[in-house]
C-alpha cells in the first residue's frame, strides 16, 4: 500500500496544471481601470512582474486592486513562492505572518507609509496593443503550495492553512459547477470581499483563472459604487458579497443592474435578509458553506431550502465532536467543528451548530448562534453578538457576554426582551451597548477584538 501511495505522490509531484483556462487568447479575464484585459495581456503582465520578484520562499500579497492581486498571485506562484494571505492588513497582522515565514517579502500595488520590511510595489500594468496571442501558457506543479491562508481569529488566534495548486483546481471545479447550473457557462463577477480572504480568492481570483469568467478589478464598498461596478460588467452578472454588505445594500434602496445571482458566505444568512434581497434585486441568493481549511464544499438557496447540498465528490461523516469531511480538494479526511445531520442518502445536510458554540449550564443546553439570532431579532437592535468568556466564575461556570448596537435602547430593555425567549441561565452578563462591532473586512468578529471591546 505504501508503494502505491509513494508512486501516486511522485506522479502528482511531476504533474503540471495550467495557470489559467485558455480556449482563446482574446478571452476577457478582467476589467481593470476601465480597460478590458485579455488572457494574452494577463500572461504578459504576470511574466513582467514575475521577472522582477526577488528570490524568496514566500510573499505577503497586499495588493488592494483585485486585478493587481491576481497578477501578483500568479507571478508569485510562477516563481515557486507561496502567497501569504494575512487575516487582515493591519501592520501587526502582517508582521506576525512575516515572522512565521522567515525570508519572505511583501508585494503591494501602491506605496505604503510606513511600509513593511522587504516591501515591493508592482510596476504599472498598462494595456499593450502589441501583446502576442501566441504566448507560452504557463503551468504550475500540482503539489506546489501556492497560498497560505489564515483563519479570521473569530474562535481564537488565526491559524495558517496551506493550499496546493491541485487543491485549488479541485475546489474551483466544484464552485464553477455550482454557479454554472444557475447562471450559465460564462459570467462576470463583482466582489465586495477582499482578495486576501479565502472566500475572495475562491470566487474572484480562481474563477477568472480557471473558468469562462471575468472579474471587476475594484472592491466597491458603498452601495452606489457597487451599482457602478456592476453596470460596467457584461451580463450575466454575479455579485459576490457577505451578509453585512448585503444588508447595507438592501437598506440603501440603491438600484442595481440585472443580476443573474448573488453569492454570500463568511457568516450565516438571516432568512429574512435573504427574502428581502431576492425581492429587492430580483435574483437568486446563493450561499456557499466552507472554511479556510476546506474551501467551499456545499451550497444552498436559503429562500427555498434550509438544507445544504454537497458538491460532487464530497462526503460527510458526523462524529460526537464535529463532522469528518472527505473532499476532492483535501489530501485526506479533515474534521470540522460543525455539527450536522445528513439527509437524502448523505448528499444534503442540516447545520445544527458548532461544537465550540454549544453551551451546557446547570444541565441546560443552548448554542451561541441561536442566542445571537434572538438578540438580533429584538426590535431596535441593529447588530450584536453573544459569546462565551474564557475565564470561569467562582462556581466554575464560563459566563455568557454580549455586545449590541442598539441606539434608543438600554441594557435593561434588551435583557428584558431576551428573558422572554431564553432560559435565564443563558442571559448575557455582562451585556454592553457599543456604537459598532469590530467586524473585519468580511464582516467576521475576531475574538480578541470582542474581548478588548467588552473590557474597555
| CA pair distance 425, 421, nearest whole angstrom | 12
Model confidence at 349, in pLDDT bands (50, 70, 90)? Answer: very high
341 located within any domain: no
pLDDT over threshold 70, residue 4: no
Domain boundary among 274, 289, 306: 306
User: 296 and 368 in one domain?
Assistant: no
- Distances, alpha carbon 456 to alpha carbons 21, 373, 434, in Å: 51, 25, 11
User: Which pLDDT score, from 0 to 100, does residue 390 have?
Assistant: 78
More confident residue, 373 or 74: 74
User: 292 and 209 in one domain?
Assistant: yes
pLDDT more than 90, % of the chain: 64
Model confidence at 13, in pLDDT bands (50, 70, 90)? Answer: low
347 located within any domain: no
Burial 220-229 (b: 16+ CB within 10 A, else e): beebeebbeb
Measured distance between the N- and C-terminal CA atoms of the chain, rounded to whole angstroms = 57
User: 366 and 283 in one domain?
Assistant: no
Query: Per-residue pLDDT averaged across 72-78, rounded?
Result: 98
- Give pLDDT tens digits for 219-240: 998 999 999 999 999 999 999 9
pLDDT over threshold 90, residue 84: yes
CA atoms within 13 A on the CB side of 122: 31
User: Which pLDDT score, from 0 to 100, does residue 429 have?
Assistant: 87
User: 230 and 98 in one domain?
Assistant: yes
Lowest-confidence region among 24-28, 137-141, 326-330, 436-440: 436-440
User: Which pLDDT score, from 0 to 100, does residue 41 have?
Assistant: 95
User: 206 and 129 in one domain?
Assistant: yes
Kind of pairing between the strands at 16-18 and 35-38: unpaired
User: 291 and 396 in one domain?
Assistant: no
Model confidence at 5, in pLDDT bands (50, 70, 90)? Answer: very low
238 located within any domain: yes
Nearest to 309 by CA among 253, 362, 349: 349
pLDDT over threshold 90, residue 73: yes
Query: Per-residue pLDDT averaged across 302-306, rounded?
Result: 92
Residue 420 belongs to domain with CATH number: 3.30.300.30
User: 396 and 273 in one domain?
Assistant: no
- Give pLDDT tens digits for 315-331: 999 988 889 999 999 99
User: Which pLDDT score, from 0 to 100, does residue 43 have?
Assistant: 95
User: 390 and 302 in one domain?
Assistant: no
User: Which pLDDT score, from 0 to 100, does residue 394 have?
Assistant: 61
Residue 206 belongs to domain with CATH number: 3.40.50.12780
Q: How many residues does the chain have?
A: 456
406 located within any domain: yes
Query: Per-residue pLDDT averaged across 414-432, rounded?
Result: 87
pLDDT over threshold 60, residue 2: no
pLDDT over threshold 90, residue 285: yes
- The residue range of the domain holding 431 is 362-455
pLDDT over threshold 90, residue 290: yes
44 located within any domain: yes
pLDDT over threshold 80, residue 19: yes
User: 190 and 97 in one domain?
Assistant: yes
The radius of gyration computed from the CA coordinates of the chain, to the nearest angstrom, equals: 23
Other beta carbons within 10 Å of 342: 17
158 located within any domain: yes
* Average pLDDT over all residues of the chain: 89
User: Which pLDDT score, from 0 to 100, does residue 366 have?
Assistant: 76
125 located within any domain: yes
pLDDT more than 70, % of the chain: 90
User: Which pLDDT score, from 0 to 100, does residue 294 have?
Assistant: 94
Beta bridge partners of 310: 298
60 located within any domain: yes
| CA pair distance 283, 119, nearest whole angstrom | 42
Query: Per-residue pLDDT averaged across 348-370, rounded?
Result: 74
- Give pLDDT tens digits for 131-188: 766 667 899 999 999 999 987 655 556 788 999 999 999 999 999 999 999 999 999 9
Domain boundary among 306, 325, 347: 306
Query: Per-residue pLDDT averaged across 6-26, rounded?
Result: 79
Domain boundary among 277, 306, 335: 306
User: 56 and 178 in one domain?
Assistant: yes
pLDDT over threshold 70, residue 71: yes
What is the SS3 string spanning 252-300?
Answer: HCCCCCCCCEEEECCCCCCHHHHHHHHHHHCCCEEEEECCCCCCCCEEE
Lowest-confidence region among 6-15, 35-44, 87-96, 294-303: 6-15
| CA pair distance 12, 165, nearest whole angstrom | 11
More confident residue, 130 or 5: 130
User: 300 and 367 in one domain?
Assistant: no
What is the SS3 string spanning the chain?
Answer: CHHHHHHHHHHHHHCEEECCCCCCCCCEEEEECCEEEEHHHHHHHHHHHHHHCCCCCEEEECCCCHHHHHHHHHHHHHCCCEEEECCCCCHHHHHHHHHHCCCCEEEECCCCCCCCCCEEECCCCCCCCCCCCCCCCCEEECCCEEEEEECCCCCCCCCEEEEEHHHHHHHHHHHHHHHHHHHCCCEEEEECCCCCCHHHHHHHHHHHHHCCEEEECCCCCCHHHHHHHHHHCCCCEEEEECHHHHHHHHHHCCCCCCCCEEEECCCCCCHHHHHHHHHHHCCCEEEEECCCCCCCCEEECCCCCCCEEECCCCEEEEECCEEEEECCCCCCCEEECEEEEEECCCCEEEEEEEHHHEEEECCEEEEHHHHHHHHHCCCCCCEEEEEEEEEECCCCCEEEEEEEECCCCCHHHHHHHHHCCCCHHHCCCCEEECCCCCCCCCCCCCHHHHHHHHHC
- Give pLDDT tens digits for 191-209: 999 999 999 999 999 999 9
Model confidence at 68, in pLDDT bands (50, 70, 90)? Answer: very high
Nearest to 191 by CA among 249, 239, 120, 127: 239
pLDDT over threshold 50, residue 400: yes
Other beta carbons within 10 Å of 234: 11
Nearest to 105 by CA among 91, 117, 123: 117
Contact 164, 13 (CB under 8 A): no
Query: Per-residue pLDDT averaged across 38-46, rounded?
Result: 95
Provide the domain count of the chain.
Answer: 2
Other beta carbons within 10 Å of 53: 18
Other beta carbons within 10 Å of 257: 14
φ/ψ of 183, rounded to 5, equals -115, -5
User: 298 and 402 in one domain?
Assistant: no
Amino acid at each position: 500500500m505504501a508503494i502505491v501511495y509513494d508512486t501516486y505522490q511522485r506522479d502528482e509531484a511531476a504533474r503540471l496544471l495550467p495557470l489559467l483556462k485558455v480556449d482563446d487568447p482574446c478571452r476577457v479575464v478582467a476589467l481593470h481601470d476601465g480597460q478590458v484585459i485579455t488572457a494574452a495581456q494577463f500572461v504578459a503582465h504576470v511574466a513582467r512582474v514575475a521577472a522582477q520578484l526577488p528570490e524568496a520562499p514566500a510573499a505577503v500579497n497586499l495588493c488592494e486592486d483585485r486585478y493587481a492581486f491576481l497578477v501578483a498571485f500568479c507571478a508569485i506562484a510562477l516563481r515557486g513562492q507561496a502567497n501569504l494571505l494575512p487575516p487582515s492588513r493591519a501592520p501587526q497582522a502582517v508582521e506576525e505572518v512575516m515572522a512565521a515565514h522567515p525570508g519572505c517579502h511583501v508585494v503591494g500595488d501602491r506605496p505604503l507609509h510606513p511600509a513593511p520590511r522587504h516591501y515591493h510595489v508592482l510596476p504599472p500594468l498598462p494595456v499593450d496593443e502589441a501583446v502576442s496571442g501566441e504566448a507560452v501558457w504557463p503551468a504550475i506543479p500540482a503539489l506546489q503550495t501556492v497560498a497560505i491562508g489564515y483563519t479570521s481569529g473569530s474562535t481564537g488566534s488565526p491559524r495558517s492553512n496551506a493550499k496546493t495548486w491541485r487543491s485549488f483546481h479541485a475546489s474551483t471545479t466544484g464552485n464553477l459547477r455550482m454557479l454554472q447550473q444557475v447562471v450559465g457557462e460564462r459570467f462576470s463577477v463583482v466582489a465586495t470581499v477582499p482578495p486576501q480572504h479565502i472566500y475572495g480568492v475562491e470566487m474572484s481570483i480562481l474563477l477568472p483563472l480557471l473558468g469562462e469568467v471575468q472579474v471587476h478589478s475594484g472592491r466597491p464598498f458603498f452601495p452606489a459604487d457597487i451599482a457602478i461596478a456592476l453596470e460596467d460588467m457584461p451580463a450575466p452578472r454575479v455579485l459576490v458579497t457577505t451578509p453585512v454588505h448585503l444588508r447595507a445594500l438592501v437598506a440603501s434602496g440603491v438600484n442595481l443592474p440585472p443580476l443573474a445571482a448573488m453569492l454570500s458566505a463568511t457568516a450565516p444568512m438571516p432568512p429574512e435578509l435573504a427574502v428581502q434581497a431576492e425581492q429587492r434585486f430580483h435574483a437568486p441568493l446563493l450561499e456557499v458553506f466552507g472554511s479556510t481549511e476546506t474551501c467551499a464544499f456545499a451550497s444552498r438557496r436559503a429562500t427555498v431550502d434550509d438544507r445544504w447540498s454537497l458538491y460532487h465528490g464530497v462526503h460527510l461523516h458526523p462524529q460526537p465532536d464535529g463532522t469528518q469531511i472527505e473532499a476532492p480538494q483535501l489530501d485526506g479526511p479533515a474534521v470540522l467543528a460543525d455539527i450536522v445531520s445528513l439527509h437524502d442518502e448523505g448528499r444534503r445536510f442540516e447545520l445544527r451548530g458548532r461544537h465550540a458554540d454549544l453551551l451546557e449550564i446547570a444541565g441546560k443546553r443552548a448554542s451561541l448562534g441561536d442566542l445571537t439570532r434572538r438578540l438580533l431579532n429584538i426590535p431596535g437592535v441593529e447588530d450584536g453578538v453573544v459569546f462565551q468568556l474564557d475565564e470561569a466564575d467562582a462556581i466554575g461556570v464560563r459566563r455568557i457576554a454580549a455586545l449590541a448596537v442598539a441606539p434608543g435602547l438600554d441594557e435593561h430593555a434588551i435583557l428584558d426582551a431576551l428573558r422572554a425567549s431564553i432560559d435565564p441561565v443563558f442571559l448575557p452578563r455582562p451585556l454592553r451597548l457599543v456604537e459598532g462591532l469590530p467586524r473585519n473586512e468580511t464582516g467576521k468578529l475576531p475574538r480578541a477584538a470582542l474581548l478588548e471591546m467588552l473590557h474597555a
